[in-house]
Structures are given as structure tokens and as C-alpha cells.
Amino acid sequence: MKRFYLLLFLFATSGGWAAETVFMCVPNSRRHRLGQSQNPVIGLFVSNDQAKTWQHRGWQESVRLFYAEMGADSVLWGAAGNGVMRSVDGGHTWKITTDWRVTEVLKVKVRPDRPSTVYAACAYGVFRTTDHGQNWRKVLDRFSADLLIDASQPQTLLAAQEEGISISRDGGDSWQLCGLSGKGIRVLAQSPGADKNWWAGTEDDGVFVSTDQGRTWQPRNHGLNHSTVYAIAFHPTDAKKMYLGVHEGGVYGSTDGGATWQRLSSGLGNAVVHSLAVLPSNPQVVLAGAINEGLFISRDAGATWTFAGQAESHIWGLSVR
């Protein structure tokens, strides 16, 4: 443990991170297959220049890295097939912090106010560590695709499950069904600014919003012609501007807080968009990670898109620090 903090200190004091860093996770590529002698590099890619260039970090073969997120203490966490990975040097080297019980991890979320507490959503439920990954404990059973830690009340946690949304108001100790019972929840997000609404993207039922801390959920599907939603992203300061990544429909955008949606797929076609990121340093820049089709970038708030690399790859997760 001492070594962990020493490495962290050294990294943090050695220049650390650029003002804005984007993490892109590529768990798989059509060109990366078992049985091939030459495979392209997959895994984690990092950009410090508004997604103009990317550097690969860490393992070059697959452990199926689905998502990476950096905590306030600059520790980088990865959600992977092999478990929850932790890096204290920005992704150059990793340690898998979980054991055989935690597998096929799809999302990892770091508590913003207490970065030693991390949650992992995986095929077998939600796991929690409160000590930087030294110990993990299962806190919620059943398949969980995504997690949301409420920005105002970090003790409040939502889990996207196959039969609706589960909520914990005590940091994961206890849970109850919160809404959208019977719906397959794919993604959860919270709008920025003052309203801090909760959003949920579903399989086949579009998007829903809760403006009352999960007591009720309302559909917001006007103009949304693709009903399976995998990704939700917001303008960093204007909560009325938001984006959805959908199955075989590219990206939808809204400028009225989700009241109406317009398809923004010029250059994207019918891509399966699984991940989205809006760059805080320049919110006109939006990234869309597609399944099987790689990365796309828009520099005009989604009006047009261009291919940005990783051909024939799954861009499962995008996050910005």
C-alpha cells in the first residue's frame, strides 16, 4: 500500500495530466481475432489534444477493456473482462485489483468526493471498494450495465439493471427498485448545472428522465426514432444541450433539455453508437464511439461527423478528465 501511494505521489508531482484528457476503450476489433498471428493494438488510448492524436497505453492485447475513468486523485480505473484494473501511472502499467468473483466488468465509477471508493458494474452485480481496490465486496446482485453516482449526494447511487433501475441512498449498503420496472436499462447519466436530473437510456423504450430524485420517470422521446439508447452526454455547462448514442441510428441531439430530438448523423450513417463524450474545453467537439466502426468526431456540435480512427473496432467507452 505504501508503494501505491508513493507511485501516485511521484506521478502526480511529475507533470501529471494535461488540462483535459480523453480516455478511449477498445475492447475488441474485427481485425483482432483469436487465431491471427498479427493483430492490431487494442485496449486503452489517451488523447491530450482534443482528440487530434491518441497514444496507446498499457497492454496491447485484449483483456476486454470496456471503460476507464480517472478519479480526483489521478488514479485511473478500468472496467475489463479480467476484472477491475487500477493504474497509478496514467495507464502505462496496471494491476487487476479484483479476484475471480469479479468478471466481465462493464463500467467503473469513482466517487468524486472520496476517490478511494469505487464501484464496478458487472455481469454478476455491483461491487464496491472503499480502500482503492484492496478489498472488494458485492453490494448488489444481478447483471448491471452502468452506474450513476449523484453529483450532489455521492451517497446516492443508481444501477442500470435488466429489470429497471435500482437505487441506493447509503453508498451501496442497501438498494431498492427505483423505477422503470421491467425495462432493460443500458445507460445512466446526470445533467450538469443546477437541475441535476437523472437520465436513463433503455433497450427499445427510448430515454427517460427523473426530475425528482427517482420518484417518477418520464419518457422524453419526441423525435427519437431509434428506441435503444446506449450513450447519453451533455454540454458541460448547458444542460439543455444533450446527445444520445443509439442502436443503428448514430447520434441524436437536443437543445431543449430532451423535450425534442433531432438526428445528427451526417457522416455517421446508421452506426451503433455505444459511447459519447463532449469535450469541456471546447463543447463543439463531440466524440462518438461506434461498435464495429471505430471513432467519429464532430467539431460542430454534432452537425457533421468524420471518421477518426480505429476502423472496424468497438469503441465501448469514452470518458474525459
Q: Does 230 bind another protein (CB under 8 A)?
A: yes
Segment near another protein (CB under 8 A), from 11-19, 37-45, 164-172, 295-303?
37-45
Q: How many CB atoms lie within 10 A of CB 12?
A: 14
Please classify residue 163 by burial: count the beta carbons closer than 10 Å to its beta carbon, then call 0-12 exposed, 13-18 middle and 19+ buried.
middle
Q: Are 63 and 81 in contact (CB under 8 A)?
A: yes
Q: Are 253 and 245 in contact (CB under 8 A)?
A: no
Tell me which of 8, 20, 31, 39 binds another protein, using CB under 8 A: 39
The footprint of another protein on residues 265-294 (CB under 8 A) is 272, 274, 291-292
Cα–Cα distance for residue pair 33/20, rounded to 1 Å:
33
Nearer to another protein, 43 or 192 (CB): 43
Segment near another protein (CB under 8 A), from 86-94, 148-156, 166-174, 211-219?
86-94
Q: Are 180 and 202 in contact (CB under 8 A)?
A: yes
Q: Does 109 bind another protein (CB under 8 A)?
A: no
Q: Does 247 bind another protein (CB under 8 A)?
A: yes
C-alpha cell at 294: 471505430
The footprint of another protein on residues 186-225 (CB under 8 A) is 186, 203
Rounded least distance, CB 235 to another protein, Å? 26
Nearer to another protein, 40 or 154 (CB): 40
Please classify residue 292 by burial: count the beta carbons closer than 10 Å to its beta carbon, then call 0-12 exposed, 13-18 middle and 19+ buried.
middle
Q: Does 60 bind another protein (CB under 8 A)?
A: yes
Q: What is the CA 213 to chain-centroid distance, rounded?
A: 21
Q: Are 75 and 59 in contact (CB under 8 A)?
A: no
Segment near another protein (CB under 8 A), from 12-20, 55-63, 260-268, 278-286?
55-63
**x/- binding map, residues 135-154, to another protein, per CB under 8 A?**
--------x-x---------
Q: Does 1 bind another protein (CB under 8 A)?
A: no
Q: Strand, coil or helix: what is 6?
A: helix
Phi-psi sector, 66: left (phi>0), alpha (psi -120 to 50), beta: alpha
Rounded least distance, CB 212 to another protein, Å? 28
Where does this chain bind another protein (CB under 8 A)?
30, 34-39, 59-64, 81-83, 86, 93-96, 99-100, 103-104, 106, 122-124, 143, 145, 162, 186, 203, 228, 230, 247-248, 272, 274, 291-292
